[in-house]
Amino acid sequence: MALFSQSNEQRIANAIVAAESKTSGEIVAVVARESSSYLYAPFLWAAITALLVPWPLIVFTWWPLIWIFGLQLLVFLILLSVLLIRPLRYALVPKSIKDRTAHRRAMEQFLAQNLHTTTGRTGVLIFVSVAERYAEIIADTEIDAKVPDQEWQTIVHHLAGTIGKGKPTDGFVDTIERVGEHLAKSFPPGTADPNELPDHLIVLDELNESD
């Protein structure tokens, strides 16, 4: 299932074009379904639980070891199959780890989308990772020197809140407009202002899994 309909993606693309018409800066919007599959988490928790199963049985029962081993294996398989369900899998991972993982993915996208190669070093990435409920704005060096981080954090907070209300398209459009306003103040359009980067929403699918 698509994260955004074609019409909503077009709304976001139009917002990028409109914002960039007022500045020499470049805006790239990226949304990822997830920044990691976190497949290790279900295996880890299922294994830990299964390792704890035999001890009370060994101490308080006369069960044969083969029975205990069989129950241990059964617990591992059942728990693993349950914890592999996406929402439960994500819930197993601490928020701090999910935030670090999503931030790393954002930095990777900043480089992958060539935001660091723009002529005036005026590229801005708007990044959202859905599974982690994570949003971030990363600006290149020239912009960072003129726009305080607090401004980006205010915009990110608003973006996250709008997405949380079930209005991701409105969140992206509003964020693009706000970012464009900041860029327009410090980086007005130049006489030679090539459009160097994509003007559409970039949607990243899962890393190794299908829907």
Distances (CA, A) of 14 to 20, 29, 56, 159, 170: 10, 12, 63, 18, 12
CA 55 to chain centre: 41
Residue 26, classified by CB atoms within 10 Å of its CB into exposed (0-12), middle (13-18) or buried (19+), is buried
Residue with tokens 């500045």: 23
User: Average of pLDDT values for 97-123?
Assistant: 91
Residues of the chain with CATH 3.10.310.50: 6-36+94-204
Give the pLDDT confidence score for residue 210 in this predicted structure: 32
Distances (CA, A) of 66 to 34, 36, 50, 70, 72: 41, 37, 15, 6, 10
Give the pLDDT confidence score for residue 188 in this predicted structure: 86
Digit-coded pLDDT (tens) for 73-98:
999 999 999 999 999 999 999 999 99
Q: Rounded to whole angstroms, how far apart are CA atoms 123 and 196?
A: 10
pLDDT of 5 above 70: yes
Q: Rounded to whole angstroms, how far apart are CA atoms 76 and 178?
A: 49
Please report which helix (H) or strand (E) contains residue 30, including its range. strand 26-32
User: Average of pLDDT values for 39-61?
Assistant: 94
More confident site: 144 or 96: 96
Record the pTM: 0.86
CATH of 6-36+94-204, one of 3.10.310.50, 1.10.3210.10, 3.40.190.10, 3.30.1180.10: 3.10.310.50
